[in-house]
Amino acid sequence: MFGQLMHRKFSVAALATLAFLVSASAFAITADPKLADPAQEARAVALSRELRCLVCQNQSIEDSNATLAQDLRIIVRERIAAGESDQQVKQFIVARYGDWVLLNPPFNARTILLWTGPALLLFVALGGMGLYYRRSKREIAVAAPVAPLSSDEQKRLGQLLKDGG
């Protein structure tokens, strides 16, 4: 009885999960006309994932339901169907909306700091660390050797140790 109940609960959860996954993937391309050629359609989807939706800025146009995103998805498909390369389609959109629409920003004069920044910071940090260690090592080497204890000091040390024990 209990086992049966568990079993049913599990299948309900599985069904719900399945339904969610199916609907989530169906959401991505609501009622858009698809390209007949599956290879071209795959290119259109891949390209749309790389283009930022300008209305809901952290989504790609593939994921967004905004009218503009829908229009841009249609434009991407029209251009692919017309035989343009991925690069040409991207250029068409970038010419209108700027590099900003590319979720993967290009490497150019304006983005050089964006791309090299992390490596640059790491380099500076490693350099600073190296310098710090070299200096502290030299300071230890330079420090005068400790003079041996005099007989008076030896006697006091013995006394202190005995008292402490």
Partner 1 sequence: MKLKTFFPLAVFALIALALGIGLYLNPRIIPSALIGKPAPTFALPAVKGRTAGFSTADLKGGEPVLVNVFASWCVPCRVEHPLLMDLAKKGVTIFGLNQRDAQGGEWLDEFGDPYKRTGDDRNGRTSIDWGVYGVPETFIITGDGHIACKHIGPVMPNDIRDKLLPALADLKAKGTTDKCSAS
**Shortest reach from residue 4's CB to partner 1, in Å:** 54
**Choices 24-32, 53-61, 139-147, 151-159 (CB under 8 A): range interacting with partner 1:** 53-61
| Residue position matching structure tokens 């290879």 | 39
| Residue position matching structure tokens 């698809």 | 34
Is 98 a binding residue for partner 1 by CB under 8 A? The answer is: yes
**Shortest reach from residue 74's CB to partner 1, in Å:** 10
CA nearest neighbour of 38 among 80, 75, 90, 72: 80
State the Cα–Cα distance between residues 17 and 82, nearest whole angstrom: 39
| Residue position matching structure tokens 């991407």 | 76
Is 80 a binding residue for partner 1 by CB under 8 A? The answer is: no
Distance separating the N- and C-terminal Cα atoms of the chain: 73
Nearer to partner 1, 57 or 151 (CB): 57
Is 96 a binding residue for partner 1 by CB under 8 A? The answer is: yes
Tell me the residue type at 104: N
Q: Which of 55, 131, 149, 157 binds partner 1 (CB under 8 A)?
A: 55
Q: Binding residues for partner 1, per CB under 8 A?
A: 54-55, 57, 67-68, 71-72, 75, 94-100
